[in-house]
Amino acid sequence: MKVAVVGATGLVGSEILTVLAERNFPVTELVPVASEKSKGKEIEFKGKKYKVVTPAEAIALKPQVALFSAGGSTSTEFAPLYAEAGITVVDNSSAWRMDPTKKLVVPEVNGDVLSADDKIIANPNCSTIQMVVVLKPLHEKYKIKRVVVSTYQSVTGTGVKAVTQLMDERAGKDGEKAYPYPIDLNVIPHIDVFQDNGYTKEEMKMIKETNKIMGDDSIRVTATTVRIPVMGGHSESVNIEFETDFDLDEVRQLLAAQEGVIVVDDPANLKYPMPKDAHGKDEVLVGRIRRDESQDNTLNLWVVADNLRKGAATNAVQIAELLNKKGLI
């Protein structure tokens, strides 16, 4: 299969290449795509070298699938052109997520919605992906009424500039800034731009995307998203109110049986998920599983995943794998 990776030189694009290789996706020819300034640069994939082309040039090369991770403006401009040329696009930006004509997909949660007509498929926000994988089996069993989530998000979610800022500050050096404040030895309760309602765009993404992926607008969600000085791995404190009561042992069994989830929940031996444990992994880790004693039918969880892997690159590749398995590409 001829596969294009649009944004191949970026953080997520590089991770997509790694995941494609690790998971042995049937790539017969790679088309690495980046901006004009990276044109001609060589990318190595599975021992072979490929020259970077521009988004427009890649269309003429007719890949069967294009994994986009080059920002919303690139996706808005080029994804429809790729789709018109018969290329299936899996887009990692926020450009198409809430478009009612486009599917927003986490394969373990709602992969069954994909069809041959889907030529632009949206990859959800990183913090939403790891949460809904955990919510799915619990919603099926107990029906979720409300979710309260607070995130603790890695600087890698912002990009290379943010990683550089953190390392510069740690080394006591001046440099380019990705954030309006220092991030080392600090916490910034602000991800993406503020909206008129006082929430950030990231918080509103989590709210709206959860409803769309779960296929249930009755689930009420509220979110606070926070940037912390961590490299590689988003963490979330998730409080879930159900319509019916639950048994904690059964909750652990349901989560352990859910595809893509690993339960790490042994407080007696200080075992719980941490970003450093999720780094480089494709699974979502869940622990600190306990009853909320302040109200009925309510559960507390701690959910951790590598935001560049399951939160972005792995989920995009898994969508392509599912399309291939179903014979849709």
**Sequence-ordered strand ranges (E) for 153-295:** 220-224, 234-242, 261-263, 284-291
Asked if residue 252 belongs to a known ligand binding site, the reply is: no
Closest CA to 94 of 204, 10, 174: 204
Residue 9 annotated as lining a ligand binding site: yes
For residues 189-196, give the mean pLDDT.
98
Residue 46 token pair:
């599975």
Query: Which pLDDT tens digit goes with each residue over 109-157?
Result: 999 999 999 999 999 999 999 999 999 999 999 999 999 999 999 999 9
CATH class of this structure's domain 127-154+192-225+230-305: alpha beta
- Choose among 47, 182, 67, 179: nearest CA to 120: 67
- Residues of the chain within CATH 3.40.50.720 domain(s) are 2-123+312-326
Q: Is 307 annotated as a binding residue?
A: yes
CA atoms of 143 and 218, how far apart (whole Å): 10
pLDDT tens for 198-254 read 999 999 999 999 999 999 999 999 999 999 999 989 999 999 999 999 999 999 999
pTM score > 0.85 for this model? Answer: yes
**Does 97 appear as a known binding residue?**
yes
Q: Give CA–CA dist 187/200, Å, rounded.
A: 16
In CATH, 2-123+312-326 is 3.40.50.720: yes
Q: Is 11 annotated as a binding residue?
A: yes
Residue 326 labelled as part of a binding site: no
**pLDDT tens string 47-74:** 999 999 999 999 999 999 999 999 899 9
DSSP conformational letter for 313? I
What local confidence, expressed as pLDDT, does residue 315 receive?
Answer: 98
Domain with CATH 3.30.360.10 in the chain: 127-154+192-225+230-305
pLDDT reported for residue 155: 97
Token output for 177: 């800034």
Q: Token digits for 20?
A: 């494609």
Give the pLDDT score at 232: 83
- What is the structure's pLDDT at 68? 98
- Tracing tokens 């109200």 back to the chain, one arrives at 295
Q: Does the annotation list 288 as a binding residue?
A: no
- Per-residue pLDDT tens over the stretch 296-320: 999 999 999 999 999 999 999 999 9
**Residue 13, burial from CB neighbour count under 10 angstroms (0-12, 13-18, 19+):** buried
52 annotated as ligand-binding: no
Q: What confidence score (pLDDT) does residue 69 get?
A: 95
Sign of CA dihedral 228, 230, 234, 237: negative
pLDDT tens by residue, 1-15? 999 999 999 989 999
Catalytic residue numbers read 126, 234
- Measured in degrees and rounded to the nearest 5, phi and psi for residue 195 equal -100, 170
220 is in an annotated binding site: no
What value does the CA radius of gyration of the chain take, rounded to a whole number of Å? Answer: 20
Average pLDDT on 97-101 reads 97
